[in-house]
Amino acid sequence: MSTLTSISSKTFLKASQKGNITKLKELASTNDIKDWTVYRHEASGDTALHLAAREGRLDVVKYLCETWKEPPFRTEVANKDMKRPVHDAAQSAKLDVLEYLLGQGAAVDPLKRADWTPLMLACTKVGEEAASCVKALLRHGAASELQNKDGWTPLMVACRTGNVDVVKCLMTRSSRSVYMRSKNGRSPLHVAAFHGYRNVIDLVLSQDSDLINWQDSSGSTPLLESVKSGDLPTFQRLIDSKANVNAVDNVGQNVLHIAAQCGNTEIIEYILNRKLIDVESPTLHGITPLMFAEKNKQLKAIKILSSFQTR
């Protein structure tokens, strides 16, 4: 690439990112640009359309798509991670750009690296604009049951984000999605419990309360996962929903063992004050909650567990 082309490339990309149409037209005329995809970010391979879509520069997006005859499939230009502009618009929650690209015939379910779809990326965001992007993608036929390389579905991603509106939307589109599992056996309920989203937990359980005690590949249940969130109300909500408080994972760890490892003193006191779990209960390898607390240097947890052992 010549020095002139290299300088023009950086300038062209910057103008696209900033939404400077005047500069873009000047560059197009001065350099007699036939195909703007030759101008790419060196590291990522992003084109001007990727950058404009990400920043929500609808006027630039239209200019790039409608002014040039080349490339013939402009909306499908991909960067080094196989990410297309529609991925960027969805991930950045730029609804107007997303709607335009889809209207121009952009594929609704292209896979980027790690098999992420635009719908999955839209589910990583919170807020009304993100929810609107999810709904737009679904209206255009996005598949709500596709799974990425780790087995995650759009619903699982939404449960991690805690966007209730999106979770409702996805559950309405596919009622079976609450039963789908990731490659390590985690369900949407496991994800919501781990992140402490009580409203999402209620939504999932409203479809099927039997999901409450499902185990993942390590034997962990949503209740065991909720301990890691550090949120006592989430833990209580699951118990009130008939979660098995005596459940153990594949190595015999119960909720008290996990709380001791995490230093979750609120849950430790909740469990012991209600005598839900024996303070000296061992795992399959004979490790007690106090041993876990000592190993992880959870000083407050050590103090509480020690006090209950002497009672």
Average pLDDT rounded to a whole number, residues 99-115: 97
Position 7 pLDDT exceeds 80: no
Asked if 1-143 and 248-311 have one fold, the answer is yes
Position 1 pLDDT exceeds 60: no
Neighbours of 35 (CB within 10 A): 11
Closest to 236 measured CA to CA, from 208, 196, 275, 288: 196
Q: What is the pLDDT of residue 73?
A: 73
Per-residue pLDDT of 169-189, as tens digits, reads 999 999 999 999 999 999 999
Average pLDDT rounded to a whole number, residues 27-46: 90
H/E run at residue 243: none
Average pLDDT rounded to a whole number, residues 54-71: 90
Q: What is the mean pLDDT of the chain?
A: 94
* CA distances (Å), origin 301, targets 102, 149, 199, 235, 259: 53, 38, 29, 17, 8
Ordered by start, the domain boundaries in the chain are 1-143, 144-241, 248-311
pLDDT-derived band at 3, boundaries 50, 70, 90: very low
Q: What is the pLDDT of residue 74?
A: 84
Average pLDDT rounded to a whole number, residues 161-175: 96
Q: Domain 248-311 belongs to what topology?
A: 1.25.40
Neighbours of 296 (CB within 10 A): 14
**Residue 268 near residue 227, CB atoms below 8 Å:** no
The DSSP code sequence of 121-141 is HHTT--SHHHHHHHHHHHHTT
pLDDT-derived band at 71, boundaries 50, 70, 90: low
Per-residue pLDDT of 190-207, as tens digits, reads 999 999 999 999 999 999
| pLDDT > 70: percent of the chain | 97
Backbone CA torsion sign across 102, 103, 107, 113 = negative
Burial zone of 165 (CB within 10 Å; 0-12 exposed, 13-18 middle, 19+ buried): middle
| pLDDT > 90: percent of the chain | 89
Instruction: List the Cα angle 243/247/248 in 5-degree steps.
Output: 150
C-alpha of 231 from chain center: 20
Position 34 pLDDT exceeds 90: no
Position 29 pLDDT exceeds 90: no
Closest to 130 measured CA to CA, from 101, 156, 167, 104: 167
Per-residue pLDDT of 223-264, as tens digits, reads 999 999 999 999 999 999 999 999 999 999 999 999 999 999
Can you identify the CATH homologous superfamily of domain 144-241? Ankyrin repeat-containing domain (1.25.40.20)
Overall CATH class of domain 1-143:
mainly alpha
